[in-house]
Amino acid sequence: MSRFDRQIMLPQIGEEGQHRLTAASVLIVGLGGLGCPVALYLAGAGVGRIGLADADTVGESNLHRQLLYSYADIGRPKVRAAMDRLRGVAPDTEFILHPCGICEENARDIISGYDLVVDCCDNYATRFLLDDCCRELAKPWVFGSISGFDGMVSTFMPGSGAGYALLCPDRDELTARPAAAEGVIGPVPGVLGCIQAAEAMKVLCGIAPALDGKLLAVNLLNMEFNLLNI
């Protein structure tokens, strides 16, 4: 356990919290700009089982912000390239690959096998699907999105009155949009992904997440952080 001494020192975590992390399972949906820091920090924290869901391959344009990957990974499935890197960080963590990503046909079966879901995807349709499935299965999930210099994070707990549908009520119009292809600087998903990982760790350790029922809106151009009630 010496590897985790610095986080075990924290009274909010301690040895009990570390054991909870080791026994926990997390599904990361999307291994792009947000998914890379989320995966690194959860693996580094000692989460025992991590599912990696993404149907994409590594491209050169990913490398400025998706720091799990290198030039040698271009063309490889993200789930495999990510697993190879993460095994060097967390050799005792079990990694489960979902190379087809998450879709209507497989979402419930996959999500049912995990304690918590972290949304790192790039499209509304998948987020609404995660919201539906996590509500149905009573699973907590951490939402994140980025664009340009901006990002948002929220945590949705089972039984909470807050939900993704409250943030985005225009479901039909939003799900018809294609996946995002907007500009972004690398530190934006880095910062937001770290916040998502911190919220996930708190949930797994039994600490009340700060963003349950709240939305954190971040703008790194002006360094503005706003916490809003949902």
pLDDT at 180: 58
Residues 101-117: tens digit of each pLDDT? 999 999 999 999 999 99
> What pLDDT score was predicted for residue 34?
98
The Cα–Cα gap between 83 and 119 comes to 18
The ranges of the chain with pLDDT < 70 are 1, 179-180
**172-189 residue pLDDT tens:** 888 887 765 778 999 999
pTM: 0.95
**Distance, CA of 141 to CA of 158 (rounded, Å):** 9
E strand map for 89-158: 94-98, 116-119, 141-147, 150-156
**CATH number, residue 44:** 3.40.50.720
Q: Domain residues for 179?
A: 2-229
pLDDT of residue 210: 94
- The helix/strand/coil state of 218 is strand
Structure tokens at 152: 């948002």
According to the model, what pLDDT value does residue 166 have?
82
Domain count, the chain: 1
**What torsion, rounded to 10 degrees, do the Cα atoms 183, 187, 188, 190 define?**
120
- What pLDDT, on the 0 to 100 scale, is given for residue 120? 97
